[in-house]
C-alpha cells in the first residue's frame, strides 16, 4: 500500500491533474464571448483593468467591501495557503536555507522557515475551520451548500491538520533532507521508498494527492475561473464622442429658438 | 397560473400568443429532452455561462447583496441558488463529476417540475447584475437567468406580458402598440402641454427625412412618462437641433434582451438600421430606458447584420456634454423640491452612466441627495427585466422586491414633507416605482432625469 501511495500514485495524480485542468480549460475556451457584457466599474485604460485584477486577487476587495465577516476568514486562509504551498516547494528545495539568499545565516534561515511554516499552517487551519463553521452555522451559506462543499473543506482540514501535527509533534516530524531526496527520485522517474516510514507523512501524502486529483473536477477550479470571468467583464470600453451634428447652441439661443416671439417673427 | 406546487409564477402566454412570436410550444412529453438539447447548445456557445456553471465556490456572499433574497427570504432567490437550478442539471448531463457522483456533488435529473421551477425563479430575478458586481470572481448570474429564459422561450414558456410586448414590437415598432396616427396625436398634445406649462413652442417632428438626429424615445413616455418626452423635445428645441422621431421604431427598449436574445432582439436591431437609413440621419440619440440602453449600447454592435453607420449615444451623455461645455442655461432653483436619484441597474452596472447622470442632476436640482449604496453598488427597484406582473401574487412579490429600495429612499429623507422627487431615469424603474412609492408610502413623486432638464431650462 505504502509502495502504491509513494511510488505509483504520484504519477497518476500528476497525469490526472494536468489532463483534467487542460480538459476544463479547453471546455471554457471552446465557448465564446458572444456579447459585450462589460461590468462596472468601467475602466478607461488597460492599467486600470490590471488594477482591478490585482486588487481582487491580492486583496479580495469585493469580499472586503460586500461581506466583511467572510473576508476575515477567506483572505487570511488563501494567503496562508499560498505561503504553505510556496513554503513546501521552497523549503524542501533549499532545505530551509532559502533565507540565506536574503542575508540570513543558515541557522536563522532554518528557524525562520520553521516559524513561518508553523504560523501559516495554523492560520490556514483556523481559516478553514472558520469557513466550515460558516457553512454549517449561517443559514444563507448552509442553504447554498452541497455535500461536496463540506467534503472539500473536510479534506483540506484533514490535510492541514496532519501537516500541522507533524510540524508540532517532533517525534512525528519530517526532516527536509529525506523528503527532498524522495521527491528528487520521483521527478527522475526512479521512485525510492518513502523515508522513515512515518504513517502521518503517508496519510498527508495520500490526502494531498486525492485533493490534487479532485481539483480539476471541482469548484477548486475557481482559481482559473476567476481570470476567465474577469477577462470577459473587466475591459476597456470607449464611448462614442458626444456632441450633436449641425448644432450651434449659441446661434439657436441668439435666434430665440422655442420662444413664442421667435416663432411669430419666423412667420412674419 | 399564479402558483404551481407552491412556486409563484406570472401568467403564461397561450399557445396562440407564442405563435405570434414565432414559437410553436413544445409538448410536455418532449420538454425535458428539448431543454437538455438547448442547454447543450447554450453551454457550447456562451463562455460567460460555462464559467458561471463551473467556478462558483458557494461562499454565500451574493445572498445578502441581492434585493430579491433580502425582500422575500426565499433561499431560491439567493443568486447562486437560482443559478443552481440550472447548475444541477448542467452537472448531471455535462460534467464527469455530476455523471459519476450525482447528488453528492449536487447533480440532478431534469424533469417537468424543475422546468416549472425555472420559470418561477428566472422570472423573479431582476437581471440587475448586482451579484455579478459583488462576486469575488465576477460570476454574472444574470447570464444564467438570461439563458434560463432563452431555453424557456424556445420551449414555449414566456410570461403573457413579455410575449405580448414582443408581438406588439413586431406589429407596430413599439411595446405599447402605438400606431403612427396615435404617435402624432400624442406629440401634438404634448406640444400644447409644453406651451401651457413652460410657455415655449416645441415641435416634435415625426419621420422627418433629412433630419440630422434621430431620437428614439421609450414608448412608455407617450402614455406614462410624458414629462420625459417633453423634456427631450425641449432640450432639442433649446439647442436648435434638426431632429426627428421615427414612427417605425418608437421604442428605446428591447424585450429581446429579457426573454429572447436571438430572434426578437435581432428583429428590433434590424428595425432601427432600416429606420436610420430611410430617414438619412447622422446620429442616433437614445431615450431613457435602462435595459434598452444596455441592449443597444452593448449588444447591438455585435448583433447588427449590417455595418452600423450611425454613432449612437444616450440622451444623458448628450445633455451632460452640453452642460460640461456651459452651453445649457439651467436654473437649479426652479425645482424647489428635494430630489434623490435611483441609479437604474443597467445604466450603472452595464453601461457606465453613473457620473453622467450626476453631472446632469446636479445642474438641474439645488437640493440633490444621494441615496446609499449608490452608483454601481445601488440596489434594483424590483422591476428590473420587466417583471412588472399584475397577477396578485406577483404584485405582492414586487412589493417585497422593492422593499430595499424603499428603505434607501426613506433614509435620504426627501419624502419627509411629502414633496420629494425620486428621479428614476428608466421606463421600467418608473413603471415599478409609480405604484411602489404608494405601497411603501414614501412621500415622493417619480420622475425621469430629462423631465428635470426640461423643467430647469432657462429660455431667455
- How confident is the model over A6-63, as pLDDT tens digits? 999 999 999 999 999 999 999 999 999 999 999 999 999 999 999 999 999 999 999 9
Residue in chain A closest to B100 (alpha carbons) equals: A217
Task: Say whether residue A264 is in contact with chain B using an 8 A CB cutoff.
Answer: no
For residue A226, give the nearest of B50, B80, B137 by CB distance.
Answer: B137
Residue B159 DSSP one-character state: B
Chain B residues with CB-CB distance to A210 below 8 A? none
Q: What is the pLDDT of residue A48?
A: 96
Q: In total, how many domains does chain B have?
A: 3
B12 and B95 share one domain? yes
> What pLDDT, in 10s, does the model give residues B5-59?
999 999 999 999 999 999 999 999 999 999 999 999 999 999 999 999 999 999 9
DSSP per-residue codes, chain A: -HHIIIIIHHHHHHHHHHHHHHHHHHHHHHSB--S----SS--SSHHHHHHHHHHHHHH-HHHHHH-HHHHHHHHHHHHHHHHHHHHHHHHHHHTT-GGGGGT--HHHHHHHHHHHHHHHHHHHHHHHHHHHHHHHH-HHHHTT--HHHHHHHHHHHHHHHHHHHHHHSGGG---HHHHHHHHHHHHTT-PPPPSTT-HHHHHHHHHHHHHHHHGGGSGGGHHHHHHHHHHHHS---PPPPP--TT--HHHHHHHTTT-HHHHHHHH-
> What pLDDT, in 10s, does the model give residues A210-255?
999 999 999 999 999 999 999 999 999 998 999 999 999 999 999 9
Q: What is the pLDDT of residue B196?
A: 97
Q: Where are the domains of chain A?
A: 2-236
B382 and B292 share one domain? no
Mean pLDDT across A116-128:
97
Contact B105 A146 (CB under 8 A): yes
Q: Find, among B390, B372, B377, the residue nearest to B434 by Cα.
A: B390
Q: How confident is the model at residue A196 (pLDDT cuts 50, 70, 90)?
A: low
B140 and B172 share one domain? no
Give the mean pLDDT of chain B.
Answer: 96
B112 and B248 share one domain? no
For residue B321, give the nearest of A67, A222, A243 by CB distance.
Answer: A243
Report the gap between the CA of A101 and the closest CA in chain B (Å). 36
For residue B46, give the nearest of A34, A237, A260 by CB distance.
Answer: A34
Report the gap between the CA of A189 and the closest CA in chain B (Å). 30
Write down which residue in B120, B141, B158 finishes a domain.
Answer: B158
The Cα B84–Cα B80 span in angstroms is: 6
Asked if the model's pLDDT at residue B111 lies above 70, the reply is: yes
B50 and B191 share one domain? no
B175 and B298 share one domain? yes
| Contact yes or no for B243/A257 (Cβ under 8 A) | no
The CATH number of the domain where B138 resides is what? Answer: 1.10.1060
Report the gap between the CA of A135 and the closest CA in chain B (Å). 8
Chain B residues with CB-CB distance to A150 below 8 A? none
Residue B261 DSSP one-character state: T
Task: Say whether residue A151 is in contact with chain B using an 8 A CB cutoff.
Answer: yes
Residue B419's domain comprises: 339-456
Q: What is the pLDDT of residue A193?
A: 86
Q: What is the pLDDT of residue A268?
A: 35
Task: Say whether residue A33 is in contact with chain B using an 8 A CB cutoff.
Answer: yes
Residue in chain B closest to A55 (alpha carbons) equals: B136
Asked if the model's pLDDT at residue A2 lies above 90, the reply is: no
Chain A residues with CB-CB distance to B239 below 8 A? 244, 247, 249, 252, 257
Write down which residue in B106, B141, B158 finishes a domain.
Answer: B158
Contact B239 A31 (CB under 8 A): no
Mean pLDDT across B66-75:
96
Contact B140 A39 (CB under 8 A): yes
Mean pLDDT across B355-369:
97
Q: What is the pLDDT of residue A144?
A: 96
Q: How confident is the model at residue B460 (pLDDT cuts 50, 70, 90)?
A: confident
Report the gap between the CA of A152 and the closest CA in chain B (Å). 10
> What pLDDT, in 10s, does the model give residues B140-182?
999 999 999 999 999 999 999 999 999 999 999 999 999 999 9
Beta strands in B252-310 (DSSP E): 283-286
For residue B55, give the nearest of A32, A63, A226 by CB distance.
Answer: A226
Contact A260 B242 (CB under 8 A): no
Mean pLDDT across A68-84:
97
Q: Any residues with CB less than 8 A from the CB of B296 and at least 6 apart, and which?
A: B252, B254, B269, B272, B286, B312
Write down which residue in B158, B191, B224 finishes a domain.
Answer: B158
Contact A225 B137 (CB under 8 A): yes
Query: Which of 80-109 (A) contact B at CB < 8 A?
Result: none
Report the gap between the CA of A209 and the closest CA in chain B (Å). 17
Residue in chain B closest to A263 (alpha carbons) equals: B201
Chain B residues with CB-CB distance to A243 below 8 A? 318, 321
| Contact yes or no for B397/B413 (Cβ under 8 A) | no
B148 and B204 share one domain? no
> What pLDDT, in 10s, does the model give residues B113-150?
999 999 999 999 999 999 999 999 999 999 999 999 99
Chain B residues with CB-CB distance to A137 below 8 A? none
The answer to whether residue B79 is domain-embedded is yes
For residue A233, give the nearest of B106, B138, B311 by CB distance.
Answer: B138
Give the mean pLDDT of chain A.
Answer: 93
Percentage with pLDDT > 70 across chain B? 100
Contact A144 B84 (CB under 8 A): yes
B144 and B173 share one domain? no
Query: Which of 195-254 (A) contact B at CB < 8 A?
Result: 217-219, 221-222, 224-226, 228-230, 232-234, 237, 239-253
B204 and B312 share one domain? yes
| Beta bridge partner(s), residue B243 | B213
Chain B residues with CB-CB distance to A226 below 8 A? 55, 136-138
Chain B residues with CB-CB distance to A240 below 8 A? 311-313
The Cα B128–Cα B209 span in angstroms is: 38
Contact A229 B48 (CB under 8 A): yes
The answer to whether residue B331 is domain-embedded is no
For residue B213, give the nearest of A24, A70, A245 by CB distance.
Answer: A245
For the domain made up of A2-236, give the CATH fold: Fumarate Reductase Cytochrome B subunit (1.20.950)
B123 and B268 share one domain? no
Which of A32, A144, A248, A259 to mutate: most B Cβ within 10 Å? Answer: A144
Task: Say whether residue A78 is in contact with chain B using an 8 A CB cutoff.
Answer: no
B422 and B295 share one domain? no
B119 and B177 share one domain? no
A208 φ, ψ (degrees, to nearest 5): -60, -40
> What pLDDT, in 10s, does the model give residues A143-163?
999 999 999 999 999 999 999
Report the gap between the CA of A92 and the closest CA in chain B (Å). 31
Contact A257 B237 (CB under 8 A): yes
Chain A residues with CB-CB distance to B322 below 8 A? 249
Which of B43, B44, B52, B55 to mutate: most A Cβ within 10 Å? Answer: B55
Secondary element (H or E) of residue B79:
helix B79-94
Residue in chain B closest to A239 (alpha carbons) equals: B313
Report the gap between the CA of B32 and the closest CA in chain A (Å). 23
Asked if the model's pLDDT at residue A185 lies above 50, the reply is: yes
Which of A247, A263, A266 to mutate: most B Cβ within 10 Å? Answer: A247
The answer to whether residue B333 is domain-embedded is no
The CATH number of the domain where B186 resides is what? Answer: 1.20.1050
Q: How confident is the model at residue A262 (pLDDT cuts 50, 70, 90)?
A: low
For residue A258, give the nearest of B43, B237, B327 by CB distance.
Answer: B237
| Contact yes or no for B368/B341 (Cβ under 8 A) | yes
Amino acid at each position: 500500500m505504502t509502495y502504491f501511495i509513494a511510488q505509483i500514485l504520484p504519477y497518476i495524480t500528476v497525469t490526472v491533474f494536468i489532463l483534467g485542468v487542460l480538459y476544463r480549460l479547453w471546455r471554457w475556451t471552446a465557448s465564446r464571448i458572444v456579447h459585450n457584457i462589460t461590468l462596472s466599474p468601467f475602466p478607461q485604460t488597460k492599467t486600470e483593468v490590471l488594477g482591478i485584477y490585482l486588487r481582487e486577487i491580492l486583496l479580495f476587495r469585493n469580499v472586503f467591501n460586500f461581506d466583511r465577516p467572510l473576508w476575515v476568514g477567506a483572505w487570511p486562509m488563501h494567503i496562508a495557503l499560498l505561503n504553505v504551498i510556496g513554503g513546501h516547494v521552497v523549503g524542501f528545495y533549499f532545505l530551509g536555507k532559502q533565507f540565506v539568499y536574503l542575508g540570513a545565516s543558515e541557522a536563522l534561515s532554518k528557524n525562520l522557515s520553521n516559524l513561518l511554516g508553523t504560523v501559516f499552517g495554523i492560520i490556514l487551519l483556523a481559516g478553514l475551520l472558520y469557513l466550515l463553521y460558516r457553512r454549517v452555522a449561517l443559514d444563507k451559506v448552509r442553504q447554498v451548500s452541497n455535500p461536496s462543499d463540506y467534503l472539500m473543506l473536510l479534506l483540506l482540514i484533514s490535510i492541514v491538520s496532519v501537516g500541522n501535527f507533524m510540524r508540532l509533534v517532533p517525534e512525528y516530524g519530517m526532516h527536509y533532507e529525506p523528503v527532498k531526496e524522495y521527491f528528487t527520485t520521483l521527478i527522475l522517474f526512479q521512485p525510492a521508498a518513502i523515508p522513515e516510514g512515518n504513517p502521518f507523512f503517508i496519510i498527508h501524502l495520500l490526502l494531498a494527492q486525492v485533493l490534487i486529483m479532485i481539483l480539476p473536477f471541482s469548484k477548486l477550479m475557481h482559481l482559473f475561473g476567476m481570470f476567465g470571468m474577469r477577462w470577459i467583464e473587466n475591459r476597456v470600453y470607449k464611448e462614442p464622442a458626444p456632441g450633436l451634428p449641425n448644432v450651434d447652441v449659441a446661434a439657436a439661443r441668439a435666434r430665440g429658438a422655442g420662444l413664442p416671439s421667435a416663432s411669430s417673427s419666423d412667420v412674419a | 397560473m399564479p402558483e404551481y406546487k407552491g412556486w409563484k409564477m406570472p401568467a403564461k402566454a397561450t399557445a396562440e400568443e407564442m405563435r405570434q412570436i414565432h414559437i410553436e410550444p413544445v409538448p410536455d412529453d418532449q420538454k425535458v429532452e428539448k431543454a437538455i438539447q438547448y442547454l447543450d447548445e447554450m453551454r457550447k456557445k456562451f463562455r460567460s455561462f460555462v464559467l458561471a456553471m463551473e467556478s462558483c465556490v458557494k461562499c454565500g456572499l451574493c445572498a445578502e447583496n441581492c434585493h430579491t433574497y433580502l425582500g422575500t427570504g426565499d433561499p431560491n432567490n439567493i443568486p447562486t441558488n437560482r443559478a443552481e437550478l440550472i447548475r444541477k442539471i448542467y452537472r448531471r448531463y455535462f460534467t464527469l463529476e455530476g455523471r459519476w457522483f450525482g447528488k453528492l456533488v449536487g447533480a440532478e435529473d431534469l424533469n417537468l417540475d424543475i422546468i416549472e421551477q425555472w420559470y418561477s425563479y428566472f422570472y423573479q430575478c431582476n437581471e440587475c447584475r448586482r451579484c455579478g458586481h459583488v462576486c469575488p470572481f465576477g460570476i454574472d448570474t444574470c447570464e444564467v437567468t438570461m439563458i434560463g429564459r432563452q431555453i424557456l422561450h424556445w420551449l414555449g414558456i414566456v410570461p403573457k406580458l413579455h410575449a405580448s410586448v414582443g408581438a406588439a414590437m413586431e406589429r407596430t415598432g413599439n411595446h405599447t402598440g402605438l400606431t403612427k396616427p396615435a404617435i402624432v396625436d400624442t406629440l401634438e398634445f404634448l406640444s400644447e402641454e409644453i406651451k401651457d406649462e413652460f410657455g415655449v413652442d416645441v415641435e416634435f417632428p415625426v419621420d422627418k427625412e433629412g433630419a440630422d438626429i434621430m431620437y428614439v424615445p421609450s414608448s412608455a413616455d407617450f402614455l406614462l412618462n410624458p414629462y420625459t418626452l417633453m423634456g427631450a423635445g425641449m432640450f432639442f428645441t433649446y439647442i436648435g437641433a434638426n431632429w426627428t422621431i421615427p414612427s417605425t421604431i418608437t421604442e428605446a427598449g428591447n424585450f429581446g434582451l429579457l426573454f429572447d436574445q436571438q430572434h426578437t432582439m435581432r428583429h428590433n436591431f434590424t428595425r432601427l438600421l432600416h429606420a436610420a437609413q430611410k430617414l438619412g440621419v447622422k446620429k442616433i440619440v437614445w431615450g431613457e430606458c435602462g435595459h434598452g440602453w444596455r441592449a443597444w449600447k452593448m449588444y447591438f454592435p455585435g448583433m447588427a447584420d449590417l455595418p452600423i453607420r450611425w454613432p449612437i449615444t444616450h440622451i444623458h451623455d448628450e445633455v451632460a456634454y452640453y452642460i460640461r461645455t456651459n452651453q445649457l442655461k439651467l436654473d437649479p432653483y426652479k425645482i424647489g423640491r428635494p430630489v434623490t436619484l435611483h441609479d437604474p441597474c443597467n445604466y450603472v452596472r452595464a453601461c457606465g452612466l453613473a457620473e453622467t447622470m450626476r453631472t446632469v442632476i446636479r445642474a438641474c436640482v439645488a437640493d440633490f441627495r444621494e441615496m446609499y449604496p449608490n452608483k454601481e453598488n445601488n440596489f434594483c427597484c424590483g422591476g428590473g427585466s420587466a417583471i412588472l406582473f399584475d397577477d396578485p401574487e406577483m404584485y405582492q412579490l414586487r412589493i417585497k422586491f422593492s422593499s430595499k429600495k424603499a428603505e434607501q429612499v426613506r433614509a435620504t429623507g426627501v419624502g419627509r414633507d411629502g414633496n420629494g422627487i425620486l428621479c428614476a431615469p428608466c421606463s421600467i424603474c418608473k413603471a415599478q416605482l409609480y405604484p411602489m412609492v404608494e405601497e411603501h408610502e414614501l412621500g415622493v413623486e417619480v420622475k425621469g432625469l430629462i423631465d428635470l432638464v426640461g423643467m430647469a431650462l432657462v429660455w431667455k
